Amino acid sequence: MGRGAGMGKKRQGPVKQAKAKGGLVRRILIWLFVIVIAIPVGVTAVYRFVPPPVTALMLIRLVEGRGLDYRWRGMADISPTLAQAAIAAEDSQFCSHHGFDFAAMEKALAHNERRPRKIRGGSTISQQTAKNVFLWPDRSYVRKGLEAYFTVLTEVIWGKRRIMEVYLNVVEWGPGFYGAEAAAQHNFGHSAKRMSTFEASRLVAILPSPLKWKAVNSGAYVQRRAGTVAERVGTVRNDGLSGCVLRE
């Protein structure tokens, strides 16, 4: 009798181990779901309605001693010409692509192979927004993979108008200041709502290197670039390329 009971207990060992392993797998899957899906989707959904409080880049610059001036403004309080200038300079297909402009990526890749010392980016405004809000400045494959994931989430959950609104509010426009309102006040002494085409083009022209170039008292290169952007703004308006943002 005692021997049979002992054998029964031995048989229960593998069963308990299997249950324990099954529980561990379930816990791992639950945590993966929370980390990979629930948290990113949840945060993205919240930012659909709530302004991002701060970004990783803002904190990095703050630690570097550059300060922090971040003033959120809705699209109604930002001059439409700034969105048009951003589309003209950064992403002419913004309203027609779904987060990625593969033709622009191919052109950037070909350019970078020819001129490796002068790297050109092929990221869309959607990708830049995903990077600015959710991630950190880096060129690693991990960061790029996460950027693609958050780009898809923002395209699906936010839509184009919200993506542009967030982009214009969190983008770095100089040492320690971010977004259209802070940039307009620092450079032109008035609100983003009063920004002219000339001023918007100056701001967008320095986006590749906002810590190096200046929108006011800028050099010849930035002035030429701003002039080109201003000309393209007319095309954006005439061709309705900003319709998804400004509801033309």
Q: What is the pTM of this model?
A: 0.87
Residues 43 and 88 in one domain: no
* Residue 70, strand partner residues: 178
Residues 30 and 89 in one domain: no
Q: In percent, how much of the chain has pLDDT > 90?
A: 74
Residues 211 and 146 in one domain: yes
User: In this predicted structure, what is the pLDDT of residue 23?
Assistant: 80
Instruction: Supply the CATH number for residue 113's domain.
Output: 1.10.3810.10
Residues 162 and 220 in one domain: yes
User: Which structural domain range is residue 38 located in?
Assistant: 1-47
**How many domains does one find in the chain?**
2
Residues 38 and 160 in one domain: no
Q: What is the mean pLDDT of residues 121-137?
A: 92
Residues 229 and 186 in one domain: yes
- Encode pLDDT of 145-175 as tens digits: 999 999 999 999 999 999 999 999 999 999 9
Bridge pairing between strands 172-174 and 177-178: antiparallel
Residues 139 and 17 in one domain: no
Residues 20 and 80 in one domain: no
Local confidence band at 102 (pLDDT 50, 70, 90 cut-offs): confident
Residues 209 and 118 sit within 8 Å (Cβ to Cβ): no
- Asked if pLDDT for residue 119 goes beyond 70, the answer is no
Tell me what the pLDDT averaged over the chain comes to: 90
Q: What is the mean pLDDT of residues 34-61?
A: 96
Residues 95 and 217 in one domain: yes
Q: What is the mean pLDDT of residues 201-209?
A: 95
> How many separate helices (H) and strands (E) can be counted in the chain?
12, 3
DSSP state for residue 50 in the 8-state scheme: S
Residues 29 and 62 in one domain: no
Q: Over the range 24-46, which residues count as b (16 or more CB within 10 Å of their CB) and which as e?
A: eeeeeeeeeeeeeeeebeebbee
Residues 71 and 42 in one domain: no
Residues 41 and 69 in one domain: no
User: Picking from 34-48, 82-96, 112-126, 211-225, which range would have the lowest pLDDT averaged per residue?
Assistant: 112-126
Q: What is the mean pLDDT of residues 12-32?
A: 79
Q: What is the mean pLDDT of residues 127-131?
A: 97
User: Picking from 77-91, 95-109, 192-206, which range would have the lowest pLDDT averaged per residue?
Assistant: 95-109
3-class DSSP string for 185-198? HHHHCCCHHHCCHH
